[in-house]
Structure 1
Amino acid sequence: MMFTTTWLSKRARLKTALSAVALCTLTSTAMAAAIDKSAIQFIGPLSDDMQLKPYQTEHRDAIIANLLPHLQKNTSRVRVFGDEQDWQAFDKVSALTLGGLQALKFTASAERFSQGKLSLKGIENAQLFINGEKQTEKDKTYELALSQGDHQIVIITEQVPNWHDVAIDFEAKSEESALTFSAKEQHGLSAKQLFDAPTISYISMSPNGAHFLTSTRHYDDKSANQALYVTELKNAKNKTIYRFESAQPSNITWSPDGSSLVYLIEGELKRLNLETLQLTVIAKHLAGANGFQFYNNDSLIFSWSKSPSDDGKLTKHYQGLQDRWSYARTTSQVYLLDISTGLSKILSQGPLSHSLEDFDAQQGVVLMSRSAQAMNRSPEPATELVELNIASATSNVLGQFKTFNQAKYTDDGIYVTAGPDFRDGLGRNLPEGMLANNYDGQLYLLSRDGKKATALSKEFDPAIGQLTVLANGDALLKVTEQDTVQLYQYDLSKKRFNNVNTGFDVVEQFSFSDERNPTLLVTGTTASTPQQLKQLTVGKSRTKVLWDSTPISYQHTDIAALEEFNFINPEGVEIKGRVYLPHNIDKSKQYPALVYYYGGTSPVTRGFTGRYPFNLWAEHGYVVYVIQPTGATGFGQEFSAKHVNAWGEYTANDIINGTRAFLNQYPFVDSKRVGNLGASYGGFMTMLLATKTDMFSASIAHAGISNITSYWGQGWWGYLYSAEASKNSYPWNNPQLYSQHSPVFHADKVTTPLLLLHGDSDTNVPVGESHNMYTALKLLGKDVDLIEYKGADHQIFARDKRFDWWNTMLAYFDKNLKDQPQWWQYLYPEK
Structure 2
Amino acid sequence: MKKLMTAEDLTKIVSVSHPVYSPDGKKAVFTKVTVNEKKDDYNIHLWVRDEETEELAQWTFEDGKHHQPVWSKDGRQLAFILQKPKEVPQLALMKSEGGGVRTLTTIPYGVSHPVFSPDGAFLYAAVSLKQSESVHDEKKEEQDDFAPAVYDDLTYKADGRGFLDGRVTQIVKVDIDSGEIEPVTSEQVHHMNHTISPCGKWLAFIQLNPQIPYISDVCLLSLEDGQTKKITQANGAYSTVSFSPNGESLLYIGHEREFQNATFPSLWLYDLKEEKTVQLSEMLDMYVGNCMAGDSVMGEVYQLPQWTKDSQGFYALVSDQGSTGIYYFSIEGLAYPVRLEAEHITNFSLHPNESKLLLSRLSPVSPSELYEMTLGETELKQITFEHHDFLKEHIVSEPEPFSFQSKDGDEVHGWFMKPSKMEEGKKYPLILEVHGGPHAMYGYTYFHEFQMLASEGYAIVYINPHGSHGYGQMFTDRVRGNYGDVDYDDVMQAVDHVLKAYDFLDETRLGVTGGSYGGFMTNWIVGQTDRFRAAVTQRSISNWISFYGISDIGYFFTRWQIDGDIYDSVDKLWDRSPLKYVKQVNTPLLILHSDEDYRCPVDQAEQLFVALKELGKDTRLVKFPKASHDLSRSGHPGQRIQRLTFIKEWFREKLA
SS in 1 for 2:384: strand
1:815 aligned onto 2:653: yes
Q: CA deviation at 1:573?
A: 0.8
Pair 1:785-2:620 in alignment: yes
In the superposition, the TM-score normalised over structure 2's length comes to 0.86
The residue number in structure 1 matching 2:106 is 285
Of structures 1 and 2, the larger Rg is shown by: 1
SS of residue in 2 equivalent to 1:576: strand
Contact 2:239 2:254 in 1 (8 A): yes
1:269-298 CA distance string (max 9 Å, x none): 5543323x2458473323422211211222
C-alpha displacement of 1:453: 3.4
- Match of 2:237, SS state, is coil
Q: Give 1:596 shift.
A: 0.6
> Secondary structure, in 3 states, of the residue corresponding to 1:227?
strand
AA matched with 2:107: L
**Matched residue of 2:238: which SS?**
coil
* 1:366–1:390 contact (8 Å) kept in structure 2: yes
Secondary structure (helix, strand or coil) at the match of 1:329 reads: coil
User: In the alignment, what sits opposite 2:534?
Assistant: 698
Deviations 1:598-642 (A, max 9, x none): 2611122332134xx112211111111112111111110000011
Name the structure 2 match of 1:517: 354
Sequence identity of aligned pairs in percent?
20
Q: For the structure 1 residues 689 and 538, does the alpha-carbon distance in structure 2 shift closer, same or farther, using more than 3 Å as the test?
A: same
Residues 706-749 of structure 1: CA deviation (Å, up to 9, x unaligned): 0012112101222343353245x312232233110001011112
Q: Does 1:403 align with 2:218?
A: no
Which of residues 367, 381, 390 is equivalent to 2:223? 390
Q: How does 1:708-727 map to 2 (within 5 A)?
A: 708-722=544-558, 724-726=560-562
The within-5 A match list for 1:30-69 is none
Q: Distance in 2 between matches of 1:544 and 1:738?
A: 52
Aligned counterparts of 2:57 and 2:525: Cα–Cα separation in 1: 56
Task: Give structure 2 stretches of 5+ with no counterpart.
Answer: 134-140, 290-302
CA apart distance, 1:268: 6.8
Name the SS for the 1:615 alignment partner. Answer: helix
Q: Residues 653 and 502 (structure 1 numbering): CA distance in 2 closer, same or farther, change over 3 Å?
A: closer
CA shift in 2, pair 1:653/1:256, >3 Å = same
**Paired AA for residue 284 in structure 1:** T
Q: Offset at 1:503?
A: 5.5
* Alignment partner, residue 104 of structure 1: none
CA shift for structure 1 position 457: 2.4
Matched, 1:773 2:583: no
Cα distance between partner residues in 1 of 2:93 and 2:237: 38
Alignment-mate amino acid for residue 316 of structure 1? A
Residues 322 and 207 (structure 1 numbering): CA distance in 2 closer, same or farther, change over 3 Å?
A: same
Shift, 1:311, TM fit: 6.7
Whole-Å separation in 1 of the counterparts to 2:637 and 2:92: 32
Instruction: Name the structure 1 match of 2:391.
Output: 554
Aligned partner of 1:210: which letter? K
Q: 2:213 aligns with which of 380, 385, 393?
A: 380
Deviates further, 285-294 or 302-311: 302-311
| Residue aligning to 1:216 | 32
Structure 2 counterparts to residues 291-370 of structure 1, below 5 A: 291-297=113-119, 298-307=121-130, 309=141, 312=144, 314-325=147-158, 326-327=163-164, 329-362=166-199, 364-370=201-207
Q: Post-superposition shift, 1:412?
A: 5.6
Corresponding residue number in structure 2 for 1:35: none
8 Å contact kept, 1:260–1:274: yes
CA shift in 2, pair 1:584/1:242, >3 Å:
closer
Picking from 454, 478, 499, the partner of 1:618 is 454
Q: For the residues of structure 2 that align with 1:454 and 1:533, how far apart are their CA atoms? A: 35
Per-residue CA shift, 1:555-609, capped at 9, x if unaligned? 2322114322211111111111100012332453211110111261112233213
Indicate conservation of the 8 Å contact 2:348/2:359, yes or no.
Answer: yes
CA contact (8 A) 1:594 1:622 kept: yes
Shift of the 594–717 alpha-carbon distance from structure 1 to 2, 3 Å rule, reads same
1:666-696 CA-partner distances (Å, limit 9, x unpaired): 2221111011111111011011111111211
Kindly provide the amino acid, as one letter, of the partner of residue 641 in structure 1. D
Alignment CA distance shift 1:648-1:412 (3 Å): farther
CA distance in 2, matches of 1:650, 1:713: 27
Find the counterpart in structure 2 of residue 576 from structure 1: 413
CA contact (8 A) 1:217 1:228 kept: yes
1:605 and 2:421 are equivalent in the alignment = no
- Number of the residue aligned with 1:566: 403
Q: Cα 1:323–1:538, aligned 2, differ >3 Å: closer, same or farther? A: farther
SS across alignment from 2:581: helix
Shift of 1:210: 0.9
Contact map agreement 1:436 1:637 (CA 8 A) in 2: no
* CA distance in structure 1 between the aligned counterparts of 2:582 and 2:91, rounded to whole angstroms: 56
Task: Say whether the 8 Å CA contact 1:437–1:640 is kept in structure 2.
Answer: no
Give the Cα separation in 2 of the matches to 1:492 and 1:454: 9
Letter of the structure 2 residue corresponding to residue 227 of structure 1: Y
Task: Give the letter aligned to residue 389 of structure 1.
Answer: S
Partner of 2:506: 670
Paired residues for 1:26-105 under 5 Å: none
1:9-28 paired onto structure 2 within 5 Å:
none
Distance in 2 separating the partners of 1:381 and 1:620: 42
- Alignment-mate amino acid for residue 491 of structure 1: S
> For residue 235 of structure 1, what is the aligned residue in structure 2?
50
Structure-2 change in CA distance of 1:710 and 1:449 (3 Å) = farther
2:297 match: none
Separation of aligned partners in 1, 2:68 and 2:493: 48
Distance (Å, rounded) in 2 between the aligned partners of 1:741 and 1:282? 52
2:285 corresponds, among 453, 457, 461, to 461
Letter in 1 for 2:345: V
Change (3 A) 1:417 1:238: same
Change (3 A) 1:533 1:338: same
Deviation (angstroms), 1:395: 1.8
Summarize deviations over 1:514-569 as a string: whole Å, max 9, x none. x2415422112111233321012445434211112332322232211432221111
Change (3 A) 1:242 1:617: closer
TM-score, reference length from structure 1? 0.69
Q: Aligned partner of 2:319: which letter? A: T
Q: Take 1:721 and 1:710, find their aligned partners in 2: how far apart are those partners? A: 13
Of 732, 743, 751, the residue aligned with 2:567 is: 732
Equivalent residues in 2 for 1:86-125, closer than 5 Å: none
CA 1:388/1:243 → structure 2, altered by over 3 Å: closer, same or farther?
closer
1:36 is aligned to none
Structure 2 match to 1:496: 334
Q: What is the one-letter code of the residue matched to 1:618?
A: A
* SS of alignment partner, residue 155 of structure 2: helix
The one-letter code matched in structure 1 to 2:129 is: K
| Residues 449, 303 of structure 1: alpha-carbon distance in 2 compared, 3 angstrom cutoff | farther
**2:90–2:104 Cα contact (<8 Å) kept:** yes
Letter aligned with residue 75 of structure 2? G
- Matched residue, 1:107: none
Q: Letter of the aligned partner of 2:76 in structure 1?
A: S
Q: Report the CA distance between 1:488 and its aligned residue.
A: 2.0
User: Kindly tell me: are residues 719 and 446 of structure 1, through their superposed partners in 2, closer, same or farther at Cα, counting changes over 3 Å?
Assistant: farther
Q: Write the distance in 2 (CA, Å) between the matches of 1:681 and 1:536.
A: 36
| SS of alignment partner, residue 487 of structure 2 | helix
2-structure distance, mates of 1:688, 1:319: 35
Whichever residue aligns with residue 287 of structure 2, its letter is A
Alignment pair present for 1:484 and 2:299: no
2:397·2:417 contact (CA, 8 Å) conserved in 1? yes
Query: Cα distance 1:346–1:723, how it changes in 2: closer, same or farther (>3 A)?
Result: farther
SS at match of 2:218: strand
SS for the counterpart of 1:315 is: coil
Question: Equivalents in 1 of 2:44, 2:67: separation in Å?
Answer: 12
Change (3 A) 1:285 1:785: closer
Would the alpha carbon gap of residues 391 and 563 (structure 1) be closer, same or farther in structure 2, given more than 3 Å must change? same
1:776-800 Cα offsets, whole Å, 9 max, x none, are 1222222222222233222242222
Query: 350-359 or 262-271, which moves further after superposition?
Result: 262-271
CA RMSD in angstroms comes to 2.6
